[in-house]
Amino acid sequence: MKHNRGITLVLILLAAFILAALAAPALAPFDPLRQSLLLRLKPPGSLVGTRQFLLGTDDLGRDLLSRVLYGARISLLVATTAVAVSLVVGITLGLIAGWFRGWTATLIMRLVDTMLSIPAILLAILTVAVLGPGFLNLVIVLGLTRWPRYTRVAYGQTLQIANLPYIRAAEMAGASTTRILWRHILPNIAGPMMVVATSEFGLMILFEAGLSFLGLGIQPPNPSWGAIMAAGRQYVERAWWLTVFPGACLFTLVVCVNLTGDWLRDKVDPRSR
Amino acid sequence: MGQLSSHLASRLGQALLASFGVLTIVFFIMRLSGDPTLLLVPEGATVEQINQLRHQLGFDRPLGLQFLSYLGDLARFDLGQSLVQRAPVLGIVAERIPYTVALAAGALVVALGIGIPAGIAMALWRGSLLERALSGFVLAGQSLPTFWSGILLILLFGVTLGWLPTSGADSLSALVMPSIALGAVTMSSFARMTRIAVLDELQSSYVTAARARGQSRLQAVRRHVLRNAAIPVVTIAALEVGNLLAGAVIVESVFAWPGIGQLAIQSIQSRDFLVVQAVVLFVSLVYVLTNLAADLAYAAIDPRIRAAR
């Protein structure tokens, strides 16, 4: 029970990130894309005329606070879309494999094993390199490379449920396969799938930032945390704020997501504690 | 013995299948954009140059034929010619491998050296303040993006204190920070795994027996528990080698460490895709091999696994 206070704080923080992302246009003090050579690399708290730059400015004189706020938007948007795409693909294949078994399952699960035997970040790097960077390609790449974990869990869960009496009963009552999978199996595997999705969500946030850091994700001038830090790496000796602030946001967000995932897992499967 | 060799054979078969799968997936990813020739030509090439190159590289042949000749080339360790560097890809990649291996080894030392003692301590002093502090540390390690922790290390030890070089590979001291940054995530999984393994073993009857014979808890741990708890830890050690190689891609970029990860990113920028392909193939195959090694080591150390299959 002492767990509860901790998780409340985590959920509040998480909500704060989401709110900040949604309300970025209202909260940001300046246009995140407006450059000014006169305002380059101002340290945090700098007051120039009537304008104050709480987190300082970057190498092109843009307000860092505004960029970090808009960065939260990109981070959450990419992660949400990527998780949605891979979740749909992964669950569908997992349900199919678990329901039909036989060679269908062998084929799908072999593909799962193979995909999982290529290190995820390399798979993503190669695919982005071939397709080219940018928001849409990033989502496509993450969606298409990250489904196997969902499939593996959905497959195992479906296998367990498929032989239960109520499923057999539905089958005998003449329910179609689609109906059984959608109405009877899916709701019963939703818990474990949520757990996988949460842990993938944290990973996707890291992947987006990592790929953008390498110059393969969100392209400048768009304010991705990873891209801001890549620029900051070049000015690390003169402008620590460019890497410290976006990194701290990234780290806090991922920790919150991971803690939420652990909490969800304990709720869904009390044995795993 | 029969069981062991059939286990070996089936795992070997799986590894071969996985390797073939990796080669196939990489082949198709390279063709995702429709025409791989366009990935390889320098910018501003004329249509004739592109057509000539397409023919020269065989990309105008049917896909099946391309795939067969791709497999044939790989079987002869022919990874093609880099059109940018005008040298065999194999040599370009091989040159960088020692750097990445050194980095992964350094990271493994950091991960084992901190992760295992931390895991043991967390299991032995369960519920203590120490455990809570350590589990916070472990959680942090697992959520830290390496490119951020890397830069923080550079800020602290490179820029502020000036103890260590901020980039490059000119001295052994340049290896310290990248190893810590890369090793942090692995350290966390070692700590978690060790904790669980030691906790499991602590509950077993042989520990109770040892305690009944008058051994102290620490003695029982040292003499019996650690040996048994080592089994799952050895397994993940092998698995983590593959993860370290993959993680090196980002860490090398942060520290300008001249390994295969930096090579891959540089090659993407200079549109040298055969080199990128070679790096991905290399790391993935090592990954498959370490998975195989982990599984075999597991079976060799623990007879129960063999019997169970």
Nearest CA to B253 among B243, B241, B261, B245?
Answer: B261
Of the ranges A42-51, A255-264, B214-223, which is most confident?
A255-264
pLDDT of residue A63: 87
| Closest Cβ opposite residue A251 in set B148, B264, B288 | B148
**Tokens representing residue A228 in the block:** 């801001």
Say if residue A82's pLDDT is above 80. Answer: yes
| Closest Cβ opposite residue B18 in set A113, A125, A243 | A113
**Has residue B4 been placed in a domain?**
no
Q: Are A243 and B151 in contact (CB < 8 Å)?
A: yes
Q: Are B148 and A115 in contact (CB < 8 Å)?
A: no
**Has residue B9 been placed in a domain?**
no
Weakly modelled stretches of chain B, pLDDT under 50: 309
The model's pLDDT over A110-161, given as tens digits with 9 standing for 90+, comes to: 889 888 878 888 888 888 888 888 888 889 888 888 999 999 999 999 998 8
Q: Are A127 and B29 in contact (CB < 8 Å)?
A: yes
Q: Are A123 and B280 in contact (CB < 8 Å)?
A: yes
Q: What is the arithmetic mean of pLDDT over A17-45?
A: 85
pTM (2 d.p.): 0.87
Rounded to the nearest angstrom, the minimum Cα separation between A116 and chain B is 9
Q: Are A121 and B247 in contact (CB < 8 Å)?
A: yes
* More confident position, A109 or B33: A109
pLDDT of residue B308: 53
Of the ranges A31-45, A166-180, B28-42, B292-306, which is most confident?
A166-180
User: Can you give the residue range of the structural domain that contains B205?
Assistant: 95-259+295-304
Query: How far is A149 from A82, CA to CA, in rounded Å?
Result: 13
**Has residue B73 been placed in a domain?**
no
**Has residue B130 been placed in a domain?**
yes
**Has residue B14 been placed in a domain?**
no
Query: How far is A181 from A266, CA to CA, in rounded Å?
Result: 26
Which residues of B are less than 8 Å from A236 in CB distance?
151, 154-155, 158-159, 166
Q: Are B155 and A243 in contact (CB < 8 Å)?
A: yes
**Has residue B189 been placed in a domain?**
yes
Nearest CA to B145 among A198, A214, A206, A240?
Answer: A206
Number of domains in chain B: 1
Query: How far is A268 from A193, CA to CA, in rounded Å?
Result: 10
Whether the CB of B10 is below 8 Å from some CB of chain A: the reply is no
Q: Are B287 and A117 in contact (CB < 8 Å)?
A: yes
Least confident of A4-8, A257-261, B28-32, B99-103: A4-8
> Which chain A residue is nearest to residue B242, measuring alpha carbons?
A119
Q: Are B253 and A213 in contact (CB < 8 Å)?
A: yes
Q: Which residues of A touch B (CB under 8 A)?
A: 110-111, 113-115, 117-123, 125-127, 129-132, 202, 206, 209-210, 213-216, 226, 229, 232-233, 236-237, 240, 243-244, 247, 250-251, 254-255, 258-259
Best residue in A14, A214, A238, A257 to probe B by mutation, most B CBs within 10 Å? A214
Q: Are B21 and A114 in contact (CB < 8 Å)?
A: yes
Q: Are B143 and A213 in contact (CB < 8 Å)?
A: no
pLDDT-based confidence at residue A272 (cuts at 50, 70, 90): low
Nearest CA to B210 among B227, B233, B191, B232?
Answer: B227
Q: Is the ipTM of this complex over 0.85?
A: no
Residue with tokens 């520290």: B255
pLDDT of residue B203: 82
Say if residue A92's pLDDT is above 90. Answer: yes
Q: Are A131 and B33 in contact (CB < 8 Å)?
A: yes
Best residue in B27, B177, B195, B250 to probe A by mutation, most A CBs within 10 Å? B250
pLDDT of residue B305: 59
| Closest Cβ opposite residue B39 in set A122, A130, A206 | A130
Say if residue A3's pLDDT is above 80. Answer: no
| Closest Cβ opposite residue A229 in set B32, B151, B268 | B151
Say if residue A1's pLDDT is above 50. Answer: no
pLDDT of residue B309: 45
Best residue in A14, A122, A236, A255 to probe B by mutation, most B CBs within 10 Å? A122
**Has residue B83 been placed in a domain?**
no
pLDDT of residue A105: 92
CATH code, domain with B104: 1.10.3720.10
Rounded to the nearest angstrom, the minimum Cα separation between A7 and chain B is 14
| Closest Cβ opposite residue B284 in set A118, A130, A210 | A118
Whether the CB of B144 is below 8 Å from some CB of chain A: the reply is yes
pLDDT of residue B302: 67
**Identity at B216, one-letter amino acid code:** S
Q: Which residues of B24-45 are buried (b: 16+ CB within 10 A; e: fewer)?
A: ebbbebbbeeeebbbbbbeeee
pLDDT of residue A36: 80
pLDDT-based confidence at residue A271 (cuts at 50, 70, 90): low
**Has residue B101 been placed in a domain?**
yes
Q: Classify A118 as helix, strand or coil.
A: coil
Rounded to the nearest angstrom, the minimum Cα separation between B83 and chain A is 16
pLDDT of residue A246: 93
